[in-house]
Amino acid sequence: MDDTIFMTRALQAARAAEAAGEVPVGAVLVDERGVILAEASNRTLRDRDPTAHAEVVALRQGAKRRGHRLTGCTLYVTLEPCAMCAGAISHARIGRLVYAALDPKGGAVEHGPKLFGQPTIHARPLVERGPGGEAAGEMLRTFFRARR
């Protein structure tokens, strides 16, 4: 699979979120053949739903197409997932997680609880830092700078 292609799609979804006034995070869910099952962006404001992070929205869309277990799928995300999203990724049995930018404040993969390293976690995806970290990070910094 070409991580750059799928992360570019996730970055496009993040830009769409930003244009809608949402925190610019995007996610793309891909099956083991490289078929995109879902593309999503943050929708917490639009949906009035604090759980409508890009990852969760993508997992929901993917589960509607394939069932609640997304074993073998890869989830591309523009930002290190938070604890809620990391838990959902585990419950969905995602095989591989690729994310672009680190989130030292709210991330739960390399930061905070480091959820996938906990002995009680249901399933652990293969985790990789992917392309696009600089672009995703700059998009987020610009977004929050404009709101302060």
DSSP 64-97: HHH-S--TT-EEEEEE---HHHHHHHHHHT-SEE
Q: Is 85 annotated as a binding residue?
A: yes
Please tell me which residue in 18, 22, 55, 80 is annotated as part of the active site.
Answer: 55
Domain extent, residue 39, equals 3-146
Could you read off the pLDDT of 26-84 as tens digits, one per residue? 999 999 999 999 999 999 999 999 999 999 999 999 999 999 999 999 999 999 999 99
Q: Is 53 annotated as a binding residue?
A: yes
As a whole number of angstroms, the distance between CA 8 and CA 94 comes to 20
Number of folded domains that form the chain: 1
Answer yes or no: are the C-beta atoms of 73 and 97 closer than 8 Å: no
CATH number of the domain encompassing residue 25: 3.40.140.10
Residue 20: its pLDDT value, please?
97
* pTM flag (> 0.85): yes
Could you read off the pLDDT of 31-47 as tens digits, one per residue? 999 999 999 999 999 99
* The two structure tokens encoding residue 13: 């979804």
Helix (H) or strand (E) holding 42: none
Active site residue 134: no
Q: Indicate whether 142 pLDDT > 90.
A: yes
